[in-house]
Amino acid sequence: MKRRAFISVYDKVGLVEFAQNLVDKFDYEIVASGDTYDYLNKSGIAVTDCNEFSSNIGILPSDYSAMNETVFAGILANSSDVNEMNALEKAAIKPYDMVVVNLCPFEKIAIENTGDIDSMVNNIDIVGCALLRAAAKNYKNVTVITDKIDYYVALNANDFGRLKLAVKAFNLTSNYDKLICGNLSEHVGEQPFKTFNFEKIKDLPYGENLHQKASLFKTENTIDYEVLEGKELTFNNMLNASVALNIISEFFDVNCVAIIRHAKPCGVSLGRSLYEAYRNAFDCDPVSSFYGVVGFSKEVDLEVAKHLNSMSVEVVVAPSFAPEAVELFKDNTEIKLVKINTPLKQYHRQIGEEIFLTPFGALIQEQNSSELNKETFKVVTNEKPTAEQIEDAVFAWKIAKYGRTNCAVIARDFKTFAISQGQTNAVSAVEHALDYSCDNSKDAVLASDTVLTSEDTIYSAIQGRINLIIQPGGSIKDQKLIDVCNKYGISMITTGIRNYKQ
């Protein structure tokens, strides 16, 4: 008896070749419905319209009339049960050996029907989900295919292989239901469930440490990138590269370089040329820059490549690389070149969510996309900063936003001289930054990601000959700090924005 395959797909890429292979080499009878039947029939494939042999159920819309009990009985049939097979034969129902169904992505349905709840609901593929679930449940007898990449792998699948395909089908329908729930919840103004639809891209060699398993999943905000040279990116590479991208995207329209180590910025600079910006960023913390990730806002040219090639760098991230720079790196197997195809301006405006899984539950928050607001950005001291100092203050504030709290940044002329972060209090962060920058703190700007509450921070800044302090403000001690600044002729700006980062 011929084997039978039921096919109903949205994505028809590669379908004709696959169906022809089923007929010619594996002696399958193809049964299809709707536009899939029309597509295969016009392509010259021997195919049967399921309407020809299935009874009509009058209460269902015509589009669904073929998806009746005869189809599901054939999919759910246990071919090893003689009594069941005899009963099906008496009812003129033939079993299916394969079900090929993929769904129109619900994200596409939601976009095409934005604001039209009725159209959105009407386009939900209830039948497709039911067919997949039925086939997946009967995986020992039926091979279920939901993705064109599995077309030829599935042909020789054993019980375990069919089980893996069944799991993939259940995962697809589960995520489909979650997307429906999420979109409909938005229309009623409630969100009792938070749904995420992450598609697995690949397993990684390891996580933060060698003994930790890790995988990479695709999200709605996954950027377009490619690794030009070197080995695949590790878990830590991607964490560091993410911080580099966050920073250089703040300065997408100028030459900017950010050097990252252990997901922390250790040197950032702007420059008249990319090479100048790179050298200045490197000089901030040369020791930490080794084995770090370096992000560039502009194309990496040969001059920059020569310096990078002379030191130990793990990853270089940039919008593009000059051909001669790529050629230079070919002999250096330690450096991974990552070309970011998503425009940095677009990346900077992407708003995603951060997820923290804790013993208390899943914590979910919007990414920190804070921008300085002219309503809250205030000079609160008698001493007024110059235009150049304000520009340095804005630069330093943006760097502090991506450091770990408590973070203090010393900067001048659009380059960092010290980035102290991860301290348990702001006083320690400021003092450590000033100690590290030494004489470079003279006439520089001090930026803090958190509210300064101690006069000791101001006295330390005075000793370091800081000209301008930029901090959130809002403490009950604000006036005391302002009074000290006024006494010693230091300018202070309050932003009204706290940038905690654990």
Does residue 140 contact residue 159 with C-beta atoms inside 8 Å?
A: yes
- pLDDT, position 65: 46
- pLDDT, position 61: 42
Tens of pLDDT, residue by residue over 28-54, are: 999 998 899 999 999 999 999 887 655
Average pLDDT over residues 189-216: 85
Which letter, b or e, does each residue of 176-213 get, where b requires 16 or more Cβ atoms within 10 Å of its Cβ? bebbbebbeeeeeeeeeeeeebeeeeeebeeeeeeeee
Please tell me the least confidently modeled range out of 68-82, 273-287, 394-408: 68-82
- pLDDT, position 53: 58
Does residue 229 contact residue 326 with C-beta atoms inside 8 Å?
A: yes
For residue 241, how far is the Cα from the chain centroid? 12
How many whole angstroms separate alpha carbon 147 and alpha carbon 218? 16
- pLDDT, position 152: 86
Tokens linked to 452: 């300064």
Q: What percent of the chain has pLDDT over 70?
A: 95
Tens of pLDDT, residue by residue over 277-290, are: 999 999 999 998 88
Q: Which range is most confident: 194-198, 359-363, 442-446?
A: 442-446
**What is residue 443's three-state secondary structure?**
coil
How many whole angstroms separate alpha carbon 27 and alpha carbon 25? 6
Neighbours of 363 (CB within 10 A): 10
Burial of residue 480 (number of CB atoms within 10 Å: 0-12, 13-18, 19+): middle
More confident residue, 253 or 94: 253
Tens of pLDDT, residue by residue over 235-265, are: 999 999 999 999 999 999 999 999 999 999 9
Position 434 pLDDT exceeds 70:
yes
Crossing angle of helices 455-463 and 426-437, in 10° steps, is 0
Number of residues that make up the chain: 502
Element (H, E) at 266: strand 264-271
Position 67 pLDDT exceeds 80:
no
Position 24 pLDDT exceeds 50:
yes
How many whole angstroms separate alpha carbon 326 and alpha carbon 342? 19
Neighbours of 282 (CB within 10 A): 22
Confidence at 494, pLDDT banded by 50, 70, 90:
very high
Average pLDDT over residues 74-79: 86
Tens of pLDDT, residue by residue over 101-154, are: 998 888 777 777 777 788 888 888 888 899 999 999 999 999 999 999 999 888
Q: Which fold has domain 3-187?
A: Rossmann fold (3.40.50)
Architecture of domain 378-494: 3-Layer(aba) Sandwich (3.40)
How many whole angstroms separate alpha carbon 302 and alpha carbon 327? 9
- pLDDT, position 57: 37
Please tell me the least confidently modeled range out of 188-202, 292-306, 463-477: 188-202
Query: What residue spans define the domains of the chain?
Result: 3-187, 225-347, 378-494
How many whole angstroms separate alpha carbon 168 and alpha carbon 99? 13
Tokens linked to 9: 């797909």
- pLDDT, position 68: 59
- pLDDT, position 311: 83
**Tokens 């920190």 -> residue:** 368
N-terminal to C-terminal alpha carbon distance within the chain: 65
Tokens linked to 372: 């300085």
Confidence at 233, pLDDT banded by 50, 70, 90:
very high
Tokens linked to 306: 């020569």
Confidence at 74, pLDDT banded by 50, 70, 90:
confident
Element (H, E) at 484: helix 478-488
Query: What Å distances lie between residue 112 and 8, 35, 105, 189, 472, CA to CA?
Result: 22, 20, 11, 20, 43
Same fold for the pair 3-187 and 378-494: no
Architecture of domain 225-347: 3-Layer(aba) Sandwich (3.40)
- pLDDT, position 472: 96
- pLDDT, position 55: 45
- Write down the pTM of the prediction: 0.78
